[in-house]
Structure 1
């Protein structure tokens, strides 16, 4: 089965707009349901989940606006576009998740020290079941979009809701145990587990967003694919100084391409344009810079990142 072509920037923008709107709507529904039932039940696990959903709403709103700003075309002040807005939104998500975990942990410890009886346990169980089903549907939709776009903002949002899915199940077990066994300690213990899950999820979100902000290279597989596409033309002798980075929906790449020194400037230009077109078929949102080197006659280039070895890496 052949790999489907990567989506264009316009297709990516449409997909991320729809999924982030769905994320905002889901978070708003969950906050409302959990807040209403928490006032009825007094469940600390449900309070923890409601607080987490409230921060989900804030994070989803940030992502909603970030993915729209990320696809704004380059301007005079941002020549490389605005793609890193997605990574900043993911960092905000990580911070909110950390805050949510701290709030939940504090409430759980307080409840363990001074247990409060659970009221309206049936309603609390019902709302957590509904929350789990809604979150599962959202994560499934986000997974489909992520496979097409690779959006770091959607990835952060999905990681957030994946941790929510786990925390919802834990909270559901804790609330059910407290309601049926009459022991509020289960409810508080479930809240502590939720806090731990959120901390773990926040670390993953932070790692992915910081990698993009620090211009981490594309995967080794993507780099090999780029080199293979460039060197598919026998007139291209080799590729070196390949540098890549992702910026929201965009991919930036630059490289030096070894050509026969006997080629005319016009012929060399035609070779590079053809190579660029091959890369754009696989990476339609790429910004490509290629420098032609006459094989064996090119002086080593200087600058802050001067060549140290002529390799295909």
Structure 2
């Protein structure tokens, strides 16, 4: 099974599970008439919509590049996370409003035992499926699957809190535990929706993924060769699971075009081998100048003007700058 097929099957699993669990939660609300159970059920409705959109985004992200989308369709996964975050944010605001009314005007909770039983069972299922989606999403480099799995984690947490609230109501007879728990969950859901929106905007705006950039730089540094005098202006963009990388590499100016091509090809191949996703890499070759002699490790260089002093270690702080390195 290809990674794209695996993503789609996991997305379909999330959709089916979400639809089944939301039915169970609304049945629990029908039995209990509990504010916190209603909160849990409303939050779960979002799961159905977001799982459906995530499944569609995984289908689009798996389409090949075309003339209109030369970098592929992977950015749709960030849109999926943003759509999910927006719905969660709206649901959180609505839940806060209803929970406040319930706290001011509490009403009795019926059959809390059934509510606890049903909600606890949904929490177990959500935790299991959420764990599967997050692990698979990280392995397959799918932000849509990871986001969907994290949402199921949150759904499981809301079910656990709802169950605890029902237990407290049954044990103490204090009905305000019900609305109070709903109020806390609403605030938590609202904050989580905001975080997902921020993550979506960051991806759509090509915010630098410092972990990936640092990994690329570390790989170049670890496998550094003498002709690779200096690297700078290194940038990484993520398109769904795939990566687009470009940088400038300073090389001896007397190299033939064939020698430069061989070195650039080797750089691209070692980076592609490092990541288990599709990597599109463009390396721009800069000719060296005599100012770089003190940094250059080329043995028996026929044009060296200055003795070698020491090698500049490529790091996250210097390799991303659009300027050649020099000794201070």
Common fold by TM > 0.5: yes
* Deviation (angstroms), 1:308: 5.0
Q: Does 1:287 align with 2:280?
A: yes
Residue of structure 2 in register with 1:255 after alignment: 247
| Counterpart contact for 1:171–1:190, Cα < 8 Å | yes
Residue of structure 2 in register with 1:194 after alignment: 185
Out of 294, 309, 312, which is 2:323 matched to?
Answer: 309
CA distance in 1 between counterparts of 2:115 and 2:152 reads 20
Residue of structure 2 in register with 1:226 after alignment: 216
Out of 83, 99, 104, which is 1:113 matched to?
Answer: 104
CA distance in 1 between counterparts of 2:111 and 2:195 reads 36
| Counterpart contact for 1:229–1:275, Cα < 8 Å | no
Secondary structure of the structure 2 residue equivalent to 1:83: coil
Residue of structure 2 in register with 1:141 after alignment: 132
Alignment deviations for residues 94-140 of structure 1 (CA, whole Å, 9 cap, x no partner): 11101111221122122222222111222111111111101110221
Out of 260, 269, 275, which is 2:261 matched to?
Answer: 269
Alignment deviations for residues 211-240 of structure 1 (CA, whole Å, 9 cap, x no partner): 1111112224x3243234445232221211
**Further displaced range: 284-293 or 156-165:** 156-165
Task: For 1:169-248, list aligned pairs within 5 A.
Answer: 169-220=160-211, 222-230=212-220, 232=223, 233-248=225-240
- Residue ranges of structure 1 left out of the alignment (5+ in a row): 1-9, 299-306
**Further displaced range: 241-250 or 177-186:** 177-186
- The alignment of Structure 1 onto Structure 2 pairs a total of residues equal to 294
Structure 1 residues 311 and 65: CA distance shift in structure 2, 3 A: farther
Alignment deviations for residues 72-104 of structure 1 (CA, whole Å, 9 cap, x no partner): 111111111111100001010111101111221
**Further displaced range: 239-248 or 100-109:** 100-109
Q: Say which one has the larger Rg.
A: 2
**Further displaced range: 92-101 or 136-145:** 136-145
| Counterpart contact for 2:230–2:324, Cα < 8 Å | no
TM-score w.r.t. the length of structure 1 is 0.88
CA RMSD of aligned residues (A): 2.1
More RCO (CA 8 Å, sep 6+)? 1
**Further displaced range: 160-169 or 49-58:** 160-169
